[in-house]
Amino acid sequence: MKIFDILLVPMGYLMRFAAYITGNNYLFAIILFALIMEILMLPIQIKQQKNSIKQASLQPKIRAITKKYDGRKDAASMQEKQQKIMELYQKENFSPYGGCLPLLIQLPIIFALYSVIINPLRYICGVSADNITKIRETLKLENLSEIDLIGKLKIPENAAKIKNIVNIDEIDLPNFKLFGKLDLSATPSLEVTKQNAWLLAIPVLVFLGMFFSQKIMKRFTYQPPESAEMQNGGGMKIMNVAMPLLSAWISLKVPAAVGCYWFIRNIISVIEKWIISKAMPIPVLSEEEFKAAEREYGVKNKQHQKKERDPNAPRPRSLHTIDFDDEPLPPPVPEKEPEEKEENSDVKDIFPVSPAPLKDDKSDKKNK
């Protein structure tokens, strides 16, 4: 038994049960299967939400410690700051990696879910892996997925070739038809046909579902200030578009049923996250709580260090004034406004005494 069989075997029985309940309709079986799996993983989601609530409640103290060492970049100060934060985590019984553990647990479960979805012949019909290999070798379809292989088995000629391996008439093959017309076992292609026009809508739904589910999930997920800045960075914005595009491109290479599962699972995950966030909301911290944490850790607020000047206090004396007495300084003498200068003041300044009159030239001639 392989290690993944520990998850695949019970999930296979669960998928078979979902197919039985829905009358072997593969789309409805996927919806029921995804819903049951999300309910089973609900304790993990609740634990992750509790960890986020605890992290949010510790944010005022973490910010106070960070603010206390603000501006100190030496190694000793940085080490002391990290030590203070770790002591706070130990005191409050909080692990910063507690939110990563549920994600690590979910990864193998997600891979197992995907394996169950794309192998309905094994997990819904109950055909063994060895017989599936023999069927592929007999029909010379080694590279065909099980979803596509089921479509080939419905052809009478192929069913007759493998009758000594598996009797198709005794197996309830899943129904991949949606509304009796759309075949979810087919792979979308870019060929212009009526069937492909409907199938191409599935990659578009996969892109839209993942793109908007990421945005909605961020609104209900707590993010520390430092990680929020990273989320708003240019690199993360590109990733938020690149991942949905990658999922849409992959959904063009696999049967449409797989794309339907991705879209349905995104919708169910968003609804589950919304319910948990309403039942266990992230606390909204007030400014007073941040100030109380700063007082607890002895953080001095530079904005409040400046004291307002008392208007009744004596004015400080200038350092340029040499005065050893405590008597108040005399009030300043108001300067007199300059008087208006008389006309021709420039001439008066040059010639303070009026010049003598000039002699007449005629009188000078007579005297000669």
Report pLDDT digits (tens) over 145-164: 888 888 888 888 888 888 88
Q: What is the pLDDT of residues 200-215, one digit of tens each?
A: 888 899 999 888 888 8
Q: How far is CA 39 from CA 24, 51, 57, 116, 264, in A?
A: 22, 19, 27, 17, 14
Q: Is the pLDDT of residue 345 over 70?
A: no
Average the pLDDT over 218-244 and give the result: 71
What tens digit of pLDDT does each residue of 12-44 get? 888 889 988 988 888 888 889 889 888 888 888
Q: How far is CA 331 from CA 75, 310, 314, in A?
A: 56, 20, 14
Confirm whether pTM is higher than 0.75: no
Q: How many CB atoms lie within 10 A of CB 122?
A: 19
Read off the pLDDT of each residue in 102-123 and give the average, rounded to a whole number. 79
pLDDT exceeds 80 at position 139: yes
Contacts of 240 (CB under 8 A, 6+ apart): 211, 214, 215
Distance CA 62, CA 49 (A): 19
Cα torsion 90, 93, 97, 101 to 10°: value is 150
Q: Is the pLDDT reported for residue 68 higher than 50?
A: yes
Amino acid letter for position 142: E
Identify the pLDDT of residue 208.
Answer: 92
Q: Quote the DSSP letter at residue 186.
A: S
**8 A C-beta contact, residue 183 and residue 195:** yes
pLDDT of 325 > 50? The answer is no
Q: What is the pLDDT of residue 194?
A: 67
